[in-house]
Amino acid sequence: MNENVNLMMKHMLRLAEAYEKLLNEVVQLRQEVAILKGGKVKEKKIYNMKILGSQVGGS
């Protein structure tokens, strides 16, 4: 049972890391689109989540 919990926690951590990466890529793409449209670029957001004391990304 404990091994299953550990595997699930590792899986959740990988999902959170992937979500952080996705959010940061979306922010970067929005900035690039704004530049191409000649609009004002908003301040870049950095997503940074903390799960179980580990820095994972998203805020």
> In this predicted model, what pLDDT tens digit does every residue of 9-55 receive, in sequence order?
999 999 999 999 999 999 899 888 888 888 766 666 666 666 655 54
List 55's β-bridge partners, or say none.
50
CA 23 to chain CA mean position, Å: 5
Q: What is the reported pLDDT for 9?
A: 92
Q: What is the reported pLDDT for 56?
A: 47
Q: Which helix (H) or strand (E) holds 51?
A: strand 50-51
Domain limits at 34?
2-55
Residue 48 neighbours by CB under 8 Å, 6+ apart: 20, 55, 56, 57, 58, 59
**Counted domains in the chain:** 1
